[in-house]
Amino acid sequence: MGEHEQLSTYGTLKNIFKVIYTPQKTFKEISQNPKYIGPILIMILFIAANIGYVYAIISKTYVEQTLPTAEQLDKWTENATLWTGTSGIIIKENFVDYINGTYYGNRSMEFSINNSKQISMQLSAIGFINCSGQDGYKNLYLRIKWISPEDNPKNATIYLFSATPSDYFRYNLTDEYSNLTSNVWNNLTISLATGWLSNSADANWGNITGLKLEFAWLNNSNITLLVDGLFFGGIFKSEAENATSYMLNFSIVSFMQFTIRWVFLGGLLYVIAKGFRAKTAWRPLLILVGFALITMFIQAVLNAATFSTLPRLDYSLKFLGGVNGEPEKAYDTIMEKTFLASQISGYVQIAMLVWTIALCAIVTRLSTEFSWGKSFLIATVAYFAATLAQSFLLGF
């Protein structure tokens, strides 16, 4: 870049920021030598600030990782052939009574046995699951519903096998079941960190290969029990790891947002002004409108600064799973953490709206010599019409 181009770019940058504190004088200077480089530089600044804004959000966003994954649904409670159980047990897939949600399939596992005090069901060959250390799964999620008998089981135990059936961890579910009810889907979250007993020194949390559920009642009865939504979870992964794809997509959206608003706002001001028989030129007007959109850059900077103060936001299985009622409660928790930032962002948006209309009114008056009242009216109508067009084209 030659010395002349450097001076020209510096002068343009200077004019961009002079619009903030001396808009009327600066617009007059720009109109004497209008160049598209100014709005283009503002667009680049806006895209950069918007990338900073989206990174501020995703750097605070953590999404729970589950096994099975979201793509696999709850595959362990979708296939009866994966399970074995007590001698005489009947295992089948129930397509009528199951958990309905985004992470869940279209069936549950039904286990039944006649004239027995006890029922157990075992899931083998689930892989080698790490439930140890910082990178290991922290929780076990499980949905259980027993149809009969009506009374709670006397004993309920869950086993996690490590490599072999003779090496396992055992967890007593009886206390949890004392607060649960029959004929209702009961949602259990079991921590893998506490409450478990090991039967051998070879049992290893870093190598979980199977699971067994065991229930016992006081008297013989016909037992029917449903299981659904079996997941390992508790690992939260930062969305910042996917920052590159987020920022690339958002930069494209930001480019489209600025361009659509710029062209529509400039075009509407020009058409309305011509409708009132003003002698105005398209190119200078469009360039001045581009400079007026410095407010979009300022809004993006303020949003980035505001949302960078957010605490960590955990999007748990309850939020992502899509079970009726659960995402709403999880969303309320997230909204509590983001309430202040969202409020500030809302006030900033209102302030930028008023400021942009004021700058467009100055542009209109300078380009048409209309009265201030007419200029503000035209600027207001054009701004909201351009925003509506942007909303229609981009969805926001």
pLDDT exceeds 50 at position 7: no
Q: Where are the domains of the chain?
A: 3-64+239-394, 66-235
Mind listing the pLDDT tens digit for each residue in 240-289? Answer: 888 888 888 999 999 999 999 999 999 999 999 998 888 888 999 999 99
SS3 content of the chain, % helix, strand, coil (to 5): 50, 25, 25
Kindly indicate the confidence band of residue 5, based on its pLDDT and cuts at 50, 70 and 90.
Answer: very low
Closest CA to 162 of 195, 209, 200: 209
Mind listing the pLDDT tens digit for each residue in 276-330? Answer: 888 888 999 999 999 999 999 999 999 999 999 999 999 999 988 888 888 888 8
171, 123 contact by CB (below 8 A):
no
What type of residue sits at position 154? K
Closest CA to 130 of 265, 232, 59: 232
Q: CATH class for domain 66-235?
A: mainly beta
pLDDT exceeds 90 at position 231: yes
Mind listing the pLDDT tens digit for each residue in 359-370? Answer: 999 999 999 989
What angle in degrees, to the nearest 10, is found between the helix axes of 282-292 and 37-58?
Answer: 30
Radius of gyration, CA atoms only, the chain: 31
| Lowest mean per-residue pLDDT among 14-23, 92-101, 175-184, 223-232 | 175-184
How high is the pLDDT of residue 213?
94
Kindly indicate the confidence band of residue 8, based on its pLDDT and cuts at 50, 70 and 90.
Answer: low
CA 334 – CA 61 distance, rounded (Å): 10
Closest CA to 145 of 220, 215, 221, 246: 215
Sign of CA dihedral 43, 47, 48, 53: positive
Mean pLDDT calculated for residue range 73-93: 92
CA 119 – CA 223 distance, rounded (Å): 7
How high is the pLDDT of residue 279?
85
pLDDT exceeds 70 at position 155: yes
Element (H, E) at 218: strand 210-238
The dihedral region occupied by 222, where left means phi > 0, alpha psi between -120 and 50, and beta the remainder, is beta
pLDDT exceeds 50 at position 4: no
